[in-house]
Each structure stands twice: as structure tokens, then as C-alpha cells.
Amino acid sequence: MADTEPTTSDPFQSATSPSAPEPAGLTEREAASRLAAIGPNAVAPERPHVLRRLLSKLTGPIAYLLEAAVVLELLDHHLTEAIIIALLIVFNGALSFVQEGRADGALALLRQRLAVQARVRRDGTWRTVDAADLVPGDVVHVRVGDIVPADLDVVDGRISLDASVLTGESRPVNLDGSGTCYSGSVVVRGEATAVVSATGERTYFGHTAQLVRTATTQSHLEQTILRIVRALLALDALLVVAIVVDGLVRHLDPATLVPFVLILLVAAVPVALPATFTLASSVGAMALAREGVLATHLSAIEEAAAMDLLCSDKTGTITQNVLTVTAVTPFGDTSRDDVLGLAAAASDAATQDPIDLAVLARTLSPAGPGERVQFTPFDPATKRSEALWRDAADTETRIVKGAPATVASLCENPPPGLDDAVAALASGGARVLAVARGTTTLELVGLIALGDPARPDSGALVSHLHELGVRVIMVTGDTPQTALAVAREVGIGERLGDLDDLRRRSDGPIDVDVMASVLPEDKLLLVERAQRRGHVVGMTGDGVNDAPALKRAEVGIAVSNATDVAKSAASLVLTSPGLGGIVAAVETGRRVYQRMLTYTLNKIAKTFQVSLFLGLGLLVMNTFVTTPRLVLLLLFANDVVTMSLATDRVSYSPSPDRWRVNQLALAALVIAVPWLLVAFATVAIGRDVLGLSLASTQTLAFVMLVATGQATVYLVREPGHLWTSPPSWWLALTSLADLVIVAVLATTGILMAPVPFPDVVGLIGAVGVLTLALDTIKAPLLRQVRSAPSRAEPSAALAPAGATEATTGRRT
């Protein structure tokens, strides 16, 4: 957007006029009294009836398949099997319902911490409070990027509102000094002072409680696992076809064959998938909340695991966001105090803008005697703020404060050596403002340097992100000199990107460390180009204009001082400044990924083993190696432990996670084949060595499937040896309880033919020994599956001509 002279046709060039007396507002005592009388400024969210939510857990592809199995079992007069499948449906539904309730409770807590803030005048001073604490009669100030916190009557200022959330119309609503703006509207331009007219359920549409939305979408991880499950069902379908053909050739009884075929398909169903995903994600969200990161979309936790490129803002994220005036350079006959006074006239404490506050903190004499008759707050598009000052002689002076290049372009004769003076101030990382004044033409009177030092921990956190395989690009609206100084200090690097190239070309690699002087729309271009190159992108932002980039990025991160609109668009919201929350999100996301990777490997291996055992057992051994009832009990035995994986103690991977399905299938097959051989050996030993009946041999095979299923969990949960990383207590206890319950059922003959106690104990012991043996050969495969290759850019499309590795200091 061009830096041009303001015109009288733009009504927002005069945003605040002191001609209207500023309302005094309420006292804290008056506000507290009204809040107690009328209640908080909030609307209780609509929530479906508990019975409807519970019944919703009994719908969906997985539930429908199991319910169809119940009907077929009843039609085939297998009442016990039908009851077991029905109990499995109820168990999964109830568990999903409970875990979803816990996740909803966690997200409700996070929404409370994401409460909209409001600037309110109480006891004669401006302060920031939760919008829920507003009461009618409060005097508030709204500016660009704010979500209107209540119904307001404007008394001073000019603003433009996006009321599409209320009206569905994209046309902005302009208010000039008066009018009503409704709760839920977004301030897209200007600022104004207003009085609260209605709160909570008394607002025009009562949308306050819905300002931050937490609707989740299906994540890449869930999509990948569901694709794997469909492939496993396809494998089972092939086995079913082979079994049916074989049964027809051998004239097997359909009454016996049909239930077996049905259970073979049911065995591949990921019964615990919905509850496991909900549990794993909610556990991750609560862990992040303790680290100061609020996940407004649970899918963002998984996306953070795959993030390999972070586009980070500078101010408040890498730096401390505590601006102070560090130097003043006057030009001509202007004194340092005059420069500060003029800058103060083009500032306003009501905006709570850090630059304005830093300037006002240094001077109490704005521009000398007189009064300000017009004020235009800082706009990222124009990169300046303006004031019109009328002195005692009724002379009106225009005062401009903003980016040096912008202000210089408005002046007729910028002082010689301006660029050198700006470069000298910015070389140490300072942010430089220029100040100009004039009646008919503008004269640049001086420069102000504002220091925002890097946070003490930024260097270490940037280094940690690099070690995690996440490349960091600083994206800032500051000048190149300031951005490069900070990037160099914290170890990001010093390759400066070509902004013109970014705007001109939509594709190409991104091999830079710093993008400076960017506009909010440039962030969206950067995200889209990075995604075209196959990157999983994280983007930080704080303004209303950052919302498109935050929404577009896989991991949109609203920083701690972000506007309400930015927080609504982001999937992660930081509650404290700095990069620490982003590092925590990466590590937590990768832990969740590792848990779900364990689930996936475990499910593939078990499906290979069970399906091939059942199918080949009938085709090769000409017998039912176990019964449909025992297969259903196996689903119970396996899925209880599978769900406990969502809380397992795991480490995070050292590089961005990527799903490689072919390697997953190969690793699972390597583990499943030995167990498949053990399964056939168990049937042969039970029948031919121990002399068990067919029914007891089938029970022994069931015990073997449970024991090897437990072993598989521990084999796939870590790439190293299984004894190097202890499991969570919940996982260990459920495994032990599972084996004990199965052993009791098998030896007492409950729901199955009995097997002697020594045979059961001997089988479980043998599986334990074989598990240790198999652990020695699985480690290399799992290390390949659980590590992801880093991505490198082949060329420097955005790097300026002449940039080299030696001069840029790029980290590898």
C-alpha cells in the first residue's frame, strides 16, 4: 500500500476529536454493584441434551458396522455373540462420551482464558479488563482489530465495522462520532470511545460467548489412520473371498461359515479409534495449557508435530515488547524535547499502542501550548499516525509520526544524511521513527530510536527449534537494519529476503532468514509459497490483518498480545510472550504423534496377525483356530490397552514427523509374521503335544492372541529396546489386569472351554521370552519409521543477489 498524502475524502483521517468531552466512566464500586445486579457480560453456550450427545456416540461408520454385526448374529441365533458385540458398542460409546466431555470441559476452560479483553475507563483511569466484567454505563475504547465486547453507543471517534457475523453483509458499517455498534462486530478501521448500552443476553445478538470458536476438523493424522484402516479392511475382504470360495468348494455349513466371516471383518475395525483420538488430543491440550499455550483446535496439536518452518514475528515473540526511547536525533534548530513533544502530540494513551506509550512516557509537554483537534491513529497500511494541533494563536500545525521512509516521502526537502542517520540508529536493533511538522508543507524535524531488546531466552529457544528440525524465519514490519540486528543476535541468521520477489512470484523455494518491511498480506503470500514447497508452516501474528495468514497456516499462532480477531483465527494462542510456548507445542505435538503412531503400528500388526491367523488357519489347517466369540472378547482385551496408549509416557521425535505408510506396513508385518508363526505353533502344540480338545485349543489360541497383542504394544511404543523407556502406570496396570483377567477366564472356563493353569502360565511366559528375542530385531526398523527426513531448500529464490552461505550464517 502506498504511503500517500491523506485526502479530505477519507473520513478516517480524523479519528478522534477532543471537541467532545470524554465521559468520566464509572467507579469500580459502581461497576461491581451493577455486575452483581445484572450478571456477567456473557451468554451461556447452547449445548445439546446429554442423551442426544450420548446417542451420537452410537453412530458413524465404525458403530454401524458393529451394529450390523449384532443384527446378523441375532438372525443367526447367536445370542451370546450379539450381546458381546453390543457391549463392545456401548463400551466404546460410553468411553468416547466421557472423554469428549472431558475434552469439552478442557476447551471451555481454555475459552475462559481466551476471554475478550476491553479497555475501560474506571475511577478516571484507563485499564484493561475481561469483557465479561463490563456493565452498562462503562466507558470503553475500541480500535482496529478489536471484537466489539458489548453493545456500545459511540460518543467520540470514527470507526468502520465488519458486522458480517451479525448481518451476513460484507459491506462495512461506518460510524462518525455517534451511532451504535453491536457485540460481535469487528473494528476494521479507526478507533472510538463509547458507552456500554447492553451486555450479555441483552445484547443485539448475544454472540459474546461465541467469539472464540473451537470447532475441530479431521486432522492429517486421523485421515492417515483411517486410510490405513480401510486398507486393512480390504485385506480382510480378500481373505473373506478366499474363505467363502474354499467353503463352497468344501461344502462347509453356511451357518458356521457366515459368523466366522463376519467376525473376521469386525476384527479389523478400530473400535477404540474415536475415543483414543479424543483422549490423546485432550491430554495434549491440557499439557499445553500448563505451558501457556491454548489449543483452540485440537487438530493443531498434531499439525505442530509436522511443522518444519516457523514464520515468527519479532516484537513480543523474539523481543521483549517493552519499548523505550533510547535516542533522539533532531534536525535543524529543533531540540530533542521538541521532537519528543511533537511525537507525543501524534500519540494517544487510549490506543494502548506500545510505541505511543513509550513516547508519552518520555515527555509531559506535547507540542507546546494549545490543543489537538484531530488525531489519526497508526495504520499498518499507511505506516504513520497524524495529529492536527491548534496553538494559542489559532494556527493549525500538521504533525506526522511514522516509518522514516514514509514520513520522508511526505516532506518536500528531507534533511541530507537522513538514510545514514536512520541506519546508524537501526544498526543496534532499534526501531526508528521519524517526526515531521508543518502548516502547508511538512518538514522532517527528527528521529526517535525505540529499543526493544531480545528476550534473554530467545537465542536458546531458536537454537532448540533448529535442533528440532524447525527452521525459523523472522517476519516483521520493521526496517531491514533493525530486523537483521535482532535476527543476528538470537541466531536466526542474516539472509534478507527479497520482498518484491515474494510479491511478484507465487512459487519458488524460501531460503531466507529474515523478511522485513512486510505488510500483513505479505504473510499470507509467504505461507502459501511455503506450502507449495511442501512445508508444514507455523505463522505467528497479532493483528486483524494477520487473520488470513493465521487461518491459512497449518499452525496459526496468535501471540500473547494479539487482537481478538487474530486469536479467533489462530489454532494456538500463546498466553505468555516469547518462543517458549511454540517449542512446547512442537514437543507436545510430537509426543501425541508418537502415541498415535504406536496405536497405528499396533493396530496394523494385530490385524495382520489375527486376520491371517483366522483366514489361513481355516484354509491351511482346515479348522477354526478360534471361535467368533473369542475374537470378540479379543477386541475387548486389546482395545482397553490400546486406549491407554493415549496417556503413555513417550519422548518426542528429534525432527518433524511425517507419516510413511509403506514403512509402517513393513514394520508391522515384520512384527506380525513371527507372532503368526507362534500362533500356528500354539495350535499345533495344544492339539498334538498337550492333547487338548479342539475347544480348549481354541481357548489356548485366544490366550496367545491376547498375550502377543500385549507384547506388540510394548514392542512398537519405542524405537529402542522395550526396557529403555518405562511405560505410564496406566498402561502397565491395564496390561497386567488384562492378562490376569484372561488367565482367570481361560482356566475357569468362563465364556470358553477351560485350559489347565500350567498351560496358560507356560504360554504367557513363552510369549514373554519371545518378546525379548523379537525386540532385538525390531529396533532398526522402528528407528526408520519413527524418524522423519528433514527438508532442505535447494536454492535461494528469495535471497538477494550476491547472498552466500558464508555471509548469511544460515543454520543447517
- DSSP one-letter string for 661-710: HHHHHHHHHHHHHHHHHHHHHHHHIIIIIS---HHHHHHHHHHHHHHHHH
- Distances 116 to 562, 602, 710 between C-alpha atoms, Å: 11, 43, 48
What pLDDT score does 248 carry?
77
pTM of the prediction? 0.67
Does residue 53 form part of some domain? no
User: By the 8 A CB rule, do 319 and 452 touch?
Assistant: yes
Nine-digit cell string for 188: 476494521
Which CATH number is 459's domain given? 3.40.50.1000
Domain assignment of residue 55, yes or no: no
- Do both 609 and 724 map to the same domain? yes
**E-only strand ranges, 113-150:** 117-122, 125-130, 139-143
Q: Looking at the structure, do residues 461 and 503 belong to the same domain, yes or no?
A: yes
What pLDDT sits at residue 622? 74
Domain CATH code at residue 204: 2.70.150.10
All three cell numbers of 754:
477351560
Residues 387 and 497 in one domain: no
* DSSP β-bridge partners for residue 156: 193
End-to-end CA distance of the chain: 35
Written as nine digits, the cell of 285 is 491440550
Q: Would 529 be classed as within a structural domain?
A: yes
What's the pLDDT score for residue 564? Answer: 65
Q: Which helix (H) or strand (E) holds 314?
A: none
> Closest Cα partner for 401 from 389, 416, 419?
389
Q: Which of 391, 425, 451 is the last residue of a domain?
A: 451
Residues 689 and 758 in one domain: yes
| Residue 809 belongs to a domain | no
Which pLDDT does position 783 carry in this prediction?
64
Catalytic: which of 156, 313, 478, 648? 313
251 and 398 belong to one structural domain: no
Burial of 313 (C-beta count, 10 Å sphere; 0-12/13-18/19+): buried
Grid cell, residue 121, equals 475507563
Final residue of a structural domain among 183, 210, 237: 210
pLDDT attached to residue 610: 84
Closest CA to 497 of 276, 803, 102, 791: 803
With a cut of 70, list the residues of the chain below it in pLDDT: 1-22, 43-50, 52-66, 69, 72-73, 76, 78, 81, 88, 92-93, 95-115, 164-171, 204-226, 229, 255-256, 259, 268-275, 364-365, 367-368, 543-545, 563-565, 639-641, 779-812
pLDDT at residue number 361: 86
Cell of 566: 487474530
Residues 348/17, Cβ–Cβ less than 8 Å: no
Given the C-alpha cell 458381546, which residue does it identify?
84
Determine contact, residues 18/53, Cβ cutoff 8 Å: no
Which residues touch 790 (CB under 8 Å, ≥6 apart)? 308, 469, 655, 656
Question: By residue range, what is the domain housing residue 436?
Answer: 331-451
Evaluate whether residue 660 is within a structural domain: yes
pLDDT digits (tens, 9 = 90+) for 249-297: 777 777 667 767 777 777 766 666 666 777 777 788 888 888 888 887 7
Residue at a domain's end among 518, 547, 575: 575
Regarding whether 723 and 592 lie in a shared domain, the answer is yes
Residue with cell 500517500: 4
CATH of the domain at 438: 3.40.1110.10
Helices (H), 114-270: 164-167, 220-250, 254-266
On whether residue 197 sits in a domain, the answer given is: yes
Same domain, 628 and 684: yes
Q: What's residue 514's pLDDT?
A: 92
Is there a domain that residue 2 lies in? no
Residue 642, classed as helix, strand or coil, is: helix
**In terms of domains, do 637 and 709 share one?**
yes
If asked whether residues 565 and 678 sit together in one domain, one would say no
Residues 724/644, Cβ–Cβ less than 8 Å: no
CA distance 590 to 756: 45
Asked if the structure places residue 109 within a domain, the reply is no
Instruction: Give the burial class of 23: count Cβ atoms within 10 A of its Cβ; 0-12 exposed, 13-18 middle, 19 or more buried.
Output: middle
Amino acid in position 628: P
Among the listed residues 488, 518, 513, 491, the one whose alpha carbon sits nearest the alpha carbon of residue 502: 518
Same-domain pairing of 397 and 466: no
Q: Do 390 and 344 sit in the same domain of this protein?
A: yes
199 and 229, same domain (yes or no): no
pLDDT attached to residue 786: 56
- Give the chain's domain count: 4
Active site residue 738: no
